[in-house]
Amino acid sequence: MSFYENAKKMLAKSAEIIKLEQGIYEQLKKCTKTLIVSVPIKMDDGSIKVFDGYRVQHNTARGPGKGGLRFHPNVTLDEVRALAMLMTWKCAVVNLPLGGAKGGITCNPNELSVNEIERLTRRYTSAIIDLIGPEKDIPAPDINTSKREMGWIMDTYSMNVGATTLGVVTGKPVEMGGSLGRETATGTGLYFILEEIAKKLDIDLKNATIAIQGFGNVGSSFALRLYEEKVGKVIAVSDLKGGIYNPDGINCKELFEYAKRNKGVSNFKGTKNITNEELLTLDCDFLVPAAIEGQITEKIAPNVKAKVIIEGANGPTVSAADDILNKKGIVIVPDILANAGGVIVSYFEWVQDLHSFFWDLERVQSELKRLLKKSFNDVWEISKKYNTNLRMAAYILGVSRVADAMKMRGLFP
């Protein structure tokens, strides 16, 4: 089952539980707008290369589209559609006045120079310019994009419309209207979710064991927060090249500096090198898949020993694996709740840009914690009400909120 088919399957399940009217369901199965663009750029050697680009808006009933832009060789239209749909539910679960969107370019940024990436980003922005804007669709960083690319998008958009437009993207440099705390927001949010689920399950966080798959922006910022708070024992970490393991715990601050210098976590002092699959099946209290989708498969699921999975990535658990894990009694905090810290602080940045009034870091993190704590407890209560797992509860909440907005708006004409 493809990622997109899996996303639609979850919609169908939640629609059946809440008895969603057929007309609304038929609309939610499809994406409102899908743009496929050809992105030609001049390479450094003078040749012309053409890349495929996508921007998809799934639903904007609750507000402008919101969603990241990823640069990756495996980007496909189906993947972008699925991610746009997940963004719709994610924004609704945490009760933001935003809809779901996503973008991507099929490329390998590791094979491109900085100048080529800049030309690619700016050309793509020009190609999708009619679809985006502060009141239409607001991109943000995702896999292999960062504040650098968001700055280029803002500048390109502003030059085209003839006015500096801060609110067209989020995740920008602070000097260009970005928000304090945005870069680490998803990892910080994971930490707040960890606190909440530990309370509900009566797990002693101070001595809890944690394995983190993925040491990019999300995984590393989560690990550093654990280090700062002196919470838990991180026993394993992995990245694209492999993983490391130390049952006595890993110093995540030292690992962060090591990974920056060595372009990976492998061979870190005092650890044993392990595979990604070995990390996913370690005996631990919390497993945090924070890499990319489709990592916990039906082959791996029977061997997962974690008590709790907190999904830092989008769609890291395939549908068949989800069923296996639920039968094993493993608690899963789903992606559309667990990793919503990024979109929440993106929303804060957008609000700050629109009003040209910027918050300090304390306010950003305080508001982030408040929103995530409330959203987690909303989902927890729905799981009790419907006697279902947290993933289905989150979908019930997200789909219900979007459906309610659609009903109130009616159908034009």
- Structural domains of the chain, with CATH: 32-176 (3.40.50.10860), 185-338 (3.40.50.720)
Joined together, the tokens standing for residue 207 give 């001595």
- C-alpha span between 357 and 166 (Å, rounded): 12
Contacts of 329 (CB under 8 A, 6+ apart): none
CB burial string 49-71: b at 16+ within 10 A, e below: eebebbbbbbbbbbbbbbbbbbb
Joined together, the tokens standing for residue 294 give 């489709």
Contacts of 20 (CB under 8 A, 6+ apart): 14, 28, 399, 403
According to DSSP, the residues that pair with 55 across neighbouring strands are: 35, 103
pLDDT of residue 189: 96
pLDDT of residue 354: 96
> 305 to each of 141, 195, 249, 264, how far by Cα in Å?
32, 20, 18, 25
pLDDT of residue 47: 97
Tens-digit pLDDT profile for residues 131-176: 999 999 999 999 899 999 999 999 999 999 999 999 999 999 999 9
For 94, counting Cβ atoms within 10 Å of its Cβ (0-12 exposed, 13-18 middle, 19+ buried), the class is buried
Tens-digit pLDDT profile for residues 12-38: 999 999 999 999 999 999 999 999 999
pLDDT of residue 294: 81
**0.95 surpassed by pTM:** no
According to DSSP, the residues that pair with 59 across neighbouring strands are: 100
pLDDT > 80? residue 334? yes
Tens-digit pLDDT profile for residues 338-361: 999 999 999 999 999 999 999 999
> 216 to each of 136, 145, 292, how far by Cα in Å?
29, 11, 10
Mean pLDDT over residues 296-317, rounded? 93
pLDDT of residue 86: 93
pLDDT > 90? residue 6? no
Torsion of CA 12, 14, 16, 20, to 10 degrees: -100
pLDDT > 80? residue 234? yes
Q: CB of 218 within 8 A of CB of 313?
A: yes
For 175, counting Cβ atoms within 10 Å of its Cβ (0-12 exposed, 13-18 middle, 19+ buried), the class is exposed
> 388 to each of 194, 392, 395, how far by Cα in Å?
20, 6, 11
Contacts of 229 (CB under 8 A, 6+ apart): 191
Joined together, the tokens standing for residue 193 give 């979710």
Q: CB of 299 within 8 A of CB of 323?
A: no
Tens-digit pLDDT profile for residues 213-226: 999 889 999 999 99
According to DSSP, the residues that pair with 137 across neighbouring strands are: 65, 133
DSSP three-state, residue 301: helix
pLDDT of residue 318: 87
pLDDT of residue 292: 79
Tens-digit pLDDT profile for residues 372-384: 999 999 999 999 9
Residue-averaged pLDDT of the chain: 95
**Predicted confidence band of residue 319 (pLDDT cuts 50, 70, 90):** confident
**Predicted confidence band of residue 3 (pLDDT cuts 50, 70, 90):** confident
According to DSSP, the residues that pair with 140 across neighbouring strands are: 68
- C-alpha span between 397 and 402 (Å, rounded): 9
DSSP-derived secondary structure letter, 245: E
pLDDT > 80? residue 1? no
pLDDT of residue 305: 95
276's enclosing H/E stretch is helix 276-280
- C-alpha span between 240 and 243 (Å, rounded): 8
Tens-digit pLDDT profile for residues 182-210: 989 999 999 999 999 999 999 999 899 99
Query: Of 66, 90, 102, 147, which is the active-site residue?
Result: 102
State yes or no: is 102 an active-site residue. yes
- C-alpha span between 179 and 193 (Å, rounded): 21
- C-alpha span between 30 and 42 (Å, rounded): 35
